[in-house]
Chains A and B, each alone.
Chain A
């Protein structure tokens, strides 16, 4: 169907195992061929840009260089990785920046395009395929996008940072109702999670209260750090899914090992969604 370059990032092999596993299962089922960036490294997350500007460009740029050897565009499931790759790409746009990076990393054959993983699924052909697998369910979902897929908008130029809709579009196409709510792109506290967990708990509780008040019984996100924060720092017992897990349910390829990885047991919502197959 399509061939993509895939950059899983560190979390999809560890804390966001269920995101990585469900993504790969869904891509295989849809016939989308994917190849990981050869010998990829960490993008630097929030830490490189906090302490060392040079590393915050060079680390993601090395991934772009390695991706350039393959054909196709790079799709990134993690919001933080996507954000950092785009910043490195931006830094290479002017000649001076490119020269400086190439001095360290060698010549780039090309600078590949970089997209968030969601964009792969809002392609007309893929949406059509998804629409053939509709779920008949009254479960309501709050789609939560966080920050790093959306801002800074002058670099990402992806979707409306005030009212994003890619995940809503995917779920609606699968027949799942999504609620309108105002905190879709509100920050979850991001990397403050370990250093100031009390603040993150307040932000997470606020997000969950708004989602519940909007009528949602679960949250669906695409960002591994948002998902971890929402699950780790809540008291409410609200399930938090990755959007690829919901696609997996609709396609009938979901696996128990995904649900076992969740810190908040999603069993109730999973069986309701499965009941609509």
Chain B
């Protein structure tokens, strides 16, 4: 059963949820979500994984863990969302908020390349992946002029070990 897998991988018992909705009340971004946090828990219990993998909520959750911290049953909806994001990515599900996936993809590619993040090329890759070249352009230039986005990348010595981490399943 999927619910047992979720319990196991998120290290909590989501069946304890009695729908007090504190998670939704306390979530800083719940007003932007298409499926509210308490409903995510209910749907996860009922095995509605296909719908959950396609919702905006899992890409809007910031993982701030306020829900988990305040839940009377110690359930973190953030951990469920994290699990669902990984599952959606593994299964090549089209994300409801594409830039949210693409920023993570560009970020991980940067780590795979250098071992640490090189902001300039990471941001360029993000822009290419989302085909949005103009948002935050002024801000980016300002950051660059302040020397906060170094041009020259640095590669760590153990980059082969990092690449192996990415290759192995």
Point out the residues of chain B lying under 8 angstroms from A62, CB to CB.
158, 161-162, 165
Q: Indicate if the CB atoms of B165 and A59 lie closer than 8 Å.
A: yes
Q: Which of B117, B146, B147, B158 has the most CB of A within 10 A?
A: B117
The verdict on A194 contacting B62 (CB below 8 Å), with A47-B108, A232-B139 known, is no
A250 to chain B minimum Cβ distance, whole angstroms, is 25
Whether B131 is near chain A, meaning CB under 8 Å from some CB there, is no
Q: Indicate if the CB atoms of B104 and A39 lie closer than 8 Å.
A: no
Alpha-carbon distance A47/B107, docked complex (angstroms)? 7
Q: Indicate if the CB atoms of B62 and A41 lie closer than 8 Å.
A: no
The binding surface of chain B is classed by DSSP as: helix
The verdict on A261 contacting B147 (CB below 8 Å), with A41-B156, A199-B32 known, is yes
Q: Indicate if the CB atoms of B62 and A195 lie closer than 8 Å.
A: no
Contact with B along A13-54 (1 / 0, CB 8 A): 111010000000000000000000001111011111111111
Whether A116 is near chain B, meaning CB under 8 Å from some CB there, is no
Whether A147 is near chain B, meaning CB under 8 Å from some CB there, is yes
Contact with A along B127-159 (1 / 0, CB 8 A): 000000001100100110011111000101110
Q: Indicate if the CB atoms of A50 and B86 lie closer than 8 Å.
A: yes
Alpha-carbon distance A46/B82, docked complex (angstroms)? 10
Q: Which of B28, B89, B116 has the most CB of A within 10 A?
A: B28
Point out the residues of chain B lying under 8 angstroms from A14, CB to CB.
119, 148-150
Contact with B along A171-211 (1 / 0, CB 8 A): 00000000000000111011110111101000100000000
Point out the residues of chain B lying under 8 angstroms from A189, CB to CB.
28-29, 62
Q: Indicate if the CB atoms of B149 and A192 lie closer than 8 Å.
A: no
The verdict on A50 contacting B66 (CB below 8 Å), with A195-B100, A197-B135 known, is no
Contact with A along B31-43 (1 / 0, CB 8 A): 0100000000000
Whether A152 is near chain B, meaning CB under 8 Å from some CB there, is yes
Interface residues on A, range: 35 or more
Point out the residues of chain A lying under 8 angstroms from B59, CB to CB.
195
Point out the residues of chain B lying under 8 angstroms from A220, CB to CB.
none
Whether B16 is near chain A, meaning CB under 8 Å from some CB there, is no
The listed residue (A42, A51, A150) touching B104 by CB distance below 8 A is A51
The binding surface of chain A is classed by DSSP as: helix
A246 to chain B minimum Cβ distance, whole angstroms, is 20
Whether A55 is near chain B, meaning CB under 8 Å from some CB there, is yes
The verdict on A41 contacting B146 (CB below 8 Å), with A58-B165, A189-B62 known, is no
Alpha-carbon distance A51/B58, docked complex (angstroms)? 12
Whether A161 is near chain B, meaning CB under 8 Å from some CB there, is yes
Whether A253 is near chain B, meaning CB under 8 Å from some CB there, is no
Alpha-carbon distance A203/B154, docked complex (angstroms)? 34
Q: Which of B60, B65, B68, B162 has the most CB of A within 10 A?
A: B65
B85 to chain A minimum Cβ distance, whole angstroms, is 5
Point out the residues of chain B lying under 8 angstroms from A161, CB to CB.
69
Contact with A along B85-115 (1 / 0, CB 8 A): 1100100000001011111110110110001
Whether A151 is near chain B, meaning CB under 8 Å from some CB there, is yes
Whether A260 is near chain B, meaning CB under 8 Å from some CB there, is yes
The verdict on A42 contacting B86 (CB below 8 Å), with A151-B68, A196-B97 known, is no
Q: Indicate if the CB atoms of A53 and B136 lie closer than 8 Å.
A: no
Whether B64 is near chain A, meaning CB under 8 Å from some CB there, is yes
The listed residue (B68, B117, B126, B161) touching A10 by CB distance below 8 A is B117
Whether B24 is near chain A, meaning CB under 8 Å from some CB there, is no
The verdict on A40 contacting B156 (CB below 8 Å), with A15-B149, A62-B161, A194-B126 known, is yes
Q: Indicate if the CB atoms of A39 and B157 lie closer than 8 Å.
A: yes
A39 to chain B minimum Cβ distance, whole angstroms, is 5
Enumerate 5 A-B pairs (CB-CB under 8 Å) in ascending A order. Answer: A10-B117, A62-B161, A147-B64, A151-B66, A190-B64
Interface residues of A (CB under 8 A from B): 10, 13-15, 17, 39-42, 44-55, 58-59, 62, 104-105, 147, 150-154, 161-162, 185-187, 189-192, 194-197, 199, 203, 232, 260-261, 263
